[in-house]
Amino acid sequence: MTYRVCFVCTGNICRSPMAESVFRARVREAGLDELVEVDSAGTGGWHEGDGADPRTVAVLEDNGYDSAHTARQFQASWFSRLDLVVALDAGHVKALRRLAPGGDDADKIRLLRSYDSAAGDDLDVPDPYYGGMDGFEECLEMVEAASEGLLAAVREHVEGRVA
C-alpha cells in the first residue's frame, strides 16, 4: 500500500515544490519509491498551472534535483487519500486545519522543520519569494536538513505497513 506525502506552502511555486523534489530524491535513494508517493500544493490557487519560480528551479538544478513541476491548490478532499500533509510554516498549518474535514485529517498535518532536531524553536521555512537567491538557497538547506528526519519517520510507517 502506498504511503502518500504532500508538501504545502502558499502558492506552490517556491518552498513546497522544493521540498517535494528534495524528498522525492531521498525516497528514491532509500529505495522506497515504489512505496512512497510525494506531491505538493499551495494553500492558494494564484499560480495554478504555472511552473516553479525560476529561482527555485535554478537552486534545485544547481544542486542536482529534478525541477519539473506544475503548481496547484490543495483541496480538502485530498485528506482522505493522504497519509501526511507537511506544511512549510505555521500559517499553512492553520489554513490546512481549517480545510481538514475531521480530527483524523487534522492529525495528518505536520511542520516540515519539526523533523529537524537542530531547528530549535523556529520551525517555519521563510518564504523566499520576495527576496534574492540567498533566500532560496537557505530554503533548500532547511528542506534538506528536515528531509532526513522526515524520511526516517516515513520509513517507520512504510515498514510497519509492509511487515
Q: Which of 28, 72, 83, 127 is catalytic?
A: 127
6 among known catalytic residues: no
Strands 36-42 and 109-111 come out as unpaired
Q: Are 145 and 133 in contact (CB under 8 A)?
A: no
15 among known catalytic residues: yes
Q: Which of 6, 14, 15, 24 is catalytic?
A: 15
CA distances from 121 to 46, 96, 118 (A): 30, 21, 9
* Residue 133, C-beta contacts closer than 8 angstroms, at least 6 positions apart: 55, 58, 59
Q: Longest C-alpha distance within the chain, in Å?
A: 46
Q: Which of 6, 9, 14, 139 is catalytic?
A: 9
9 among known catalytic residues: yes
* Residue 78, C-beta contacts closer than 8 angstroms, at least 6 positions apart: 6, 41
| Catalytic residue positions, numbered | 9, 15, 127
